[in-house]
Amino acid sequence: MRTGYDLELVHLTKRYGDTVAVRDLNHVFARGSYVCLLGPSGCGKSSTLRMIAGHEDVSEGSIVLDGQDVSELPPAQRGTAMMFQSYALFPHLSVRDNVAFSLRMKGVDKPTRHARANELLELVDMTHLADRLPAQLSGGQQQRVALARALVTEPKVLLLDEPLSALDPFLRIRMRTELKKLQRELGITFIHVTHGQDEALALADEIVVMNDAVIEQAGAARDVWARPRTEFVARFIGGHNVIALPVSEGGGKATVRADAVTLGPDGVPATVTAVEYQGASVAVTATTSDGEELLALLPEEQFYHAPKSPGEAVRLSWDQGRLHRLQA
């Protein structure tokens, strides 16, 4: 059974002067789920997160958490906690005192707040460094402290603003695993802002794709990946070719996944423009005579059985059953 609380955005809008940063969002975040807000810079995802946290005023609409409109409440009274991209740890306080800081502000006595901080440090595997200062920690360790500090208030919803962007690629992948494990253990809703498609696909129960201040598509990670609704989602999620359909098939556009495209004796004539080795697969980019750029993602063994180089003529084909017609 899922724990946690439903969070609902109702006609949520944010304006900065004449600029609309977030336009009339309506969405329910399922309780106890890991949700990624995904989109390019400036799409409105961080403004949405900051409004939920109470760090930005709502221009119109409301934020409802566990049946209560929290739109006008100060951050500390909302039942949410936010973990910032910069971690924002206090340099002069020990790890333990950083984690316990919000409890200190609430007047909780020292033994009680330290005991609670120790519990959270154990949860994020940082007990052995409790007496250190932030400057004595690595980036990954600082992130764990920031996470423990956000969780010490027992929030109903944890908000994460690009929490992995400051980490090196190896550590980023390791911390992804830890975040997902932690969310499952706690059973609370995590809302995580990212512009990394791989990150969203790896972490999210639900992906909410934003573009130009609105939600383009929301759904289970696998559904958004396999069945993009719009050309923007198909291109942003990646791994898809967007193809114009002939008038005889009703026109419009469809997608075919790059891993469904093959090179062979039949199909659309094209010229190879780029070949990129990716380990288990090889990405071959080719341009048709109409100027359409198509991507084929071929198993490494298959590609090297008959390798191609930029400038070579090829034919690209795919099973028509793998075409997915875009709705918009």
Q: How does pLDDT run across 186-205, given as a tens digit for each residue?
A: 999 999 999 899 999 999 99
Instruction: Choose between 139 and 61: higher pLDDT.
Output: 61
Separation CA 121–CA 144 (nearest Å): 8
Query: Does some domain include residue 213?
Result: yes
Whether residue 85 is predicted with pLDDT greater than 80 in this model: the reply is no
Separation CA 38–CA 271 (nearest Å): 33
Give the confidence band of 88 by pLDDT, cuts at 50, 70, 90.
confident
Amino acid code (one letter) for 201: L
Separation CA 268–CA 287 (nearest Å): 10
Query: Does some domain include residue 318?
Result: yes
For residue 140, the model assigns a pLDDT of 86
For residue 283, the model assigns a pLDDT of 97
pLDDT, tens digit (0-9, with 9 covering 90-100), for 224-263: 999 999 999 999 998 899 998 888 777 899 999 999 999 9
What's the token pair of residue 73? Answer: 């409440």
For residue 5, the model assigns a pLDDT of 67
Query: Looking at the structure, do residues 279 and 220 belong to the same domain, yes or no?
Result: no
For residue 139, the model assigns a pLDDT of 85
What's the token pair of residue 225? Answer: 């990946």
For residue 90, the model assigns a pLDDT of 93
Query: Looking at the structure, do residues 122 and 219 belong to the same domain, yes or no?
Result: yes
Q: How far is CA 212 from CA 73, 79, 242, in A?
A: 27, 29, 20
Separation CA 241–CA 282 (nearest Å): 16
For residue 164, the model assigns a pLDDT of 84
CATH number of the domain encompassing residue 215: 3.40.50.300
* Across 85-94, 292-301, 315-324, least confident range: 85-94
Q: Reading across the β-sheet that carries 214-220, which strands appear in turn?
A: 80-83, 157-161, 189-194, 34-38, 206-211, 214-220
Whether residue 1 is predicted with pLDDT greater than 60 in this model: the reply is no
Count of the separate structural domains present in the chain: 2
Whether residue 289 is predicted with pLDDT greater than 60 in this model: the reply is yes
Query: Does some domain include residue 143?
Result: yes
Please say which residue of 193, 209, 232 terminates a domain. Answer: 232
Query: Looking at the structure, do residues 126 and 188 belong to the same domain, yes or no?
Result: yes
Whether residue 324 is predicted with pLDDT greater than 50 in this model: the reply is yes
Query: Does some domain include residue 83?
Result: yes
Query: Does some domain include residue 115?
Result: yes
Partnered with residue 292 across adjacent β-strands are none
80-95: burial string, b at 16+ Cβ within 10 Å, e else = bbbbbeebebeeeebb
Provide mean pLDDT across the span 95-104: 94
Give the confidence band of 327 by pLDDT, cuts at 50, 70, 90.
confident
**CA triple 109-141-33, angle to 5 deg:** 80
pLDDT, tens digit (0-9, with 9 covering 90-100), for 22-63: 999 999 999 999 999 999 999 999 999 999 999 999 999 999
Q: How many CA atoms lie within 13 A of 186 on its CB side?
A: 28
Separation CA 286–CA 263 (nearest Å): 10
Backbone angles phi, psi at 11, to 5 degrees: 50, 40
Query: Does some domain include residue 45?
Result: yes
What's the token pair of residue 13? Answer: 């809008």
Query: Does some domain include residue 2?
Result: no
Which residue range forms the structural domain that includes residue 310? 239-325
Closest by CA position to 117, among listed 94, 92, 96: 96
Separation CA 208–CA 233 (nearest Å): 10
For residue 2, the model assigns a pLDDT of 44
Q: Reading across the β-sheet that carries 240-244, which strands appear in turn?
A: 240-244, 253-257, 324-325
> What rounded mean pLDDT belongs to the chain?
92
For residue 117, the model assigns a pLDDT of 95
Query: Looking at the structure, do residues 256 and 123 belong to the same domain, yes or no?
Result: no
pLDDT-above-90 percentage for the chain? 80
What's the token pair of residue 174? Answer: 């390791």
- Compute and round to an integer the Cα radius of gyration of the chain: 23
Please say which residue of 232, 255, 275 terminates a domain. Answer: 232
Please say which residue of 206, 232, 258 terminates a domain. Answer: 232
Query: Looking at the structure, do residues 140 and 21 belong to the same domain, yes or no?
Result: yes
Query: Does some domain include residue 262?
Result: yes
For 177, residues 6+ apart whose C-beta sits below 8 A from its C-beta are none
- Contact assessment for residue 213 and residue 219, using Cβ atoms and an 8 Å cutoff: no
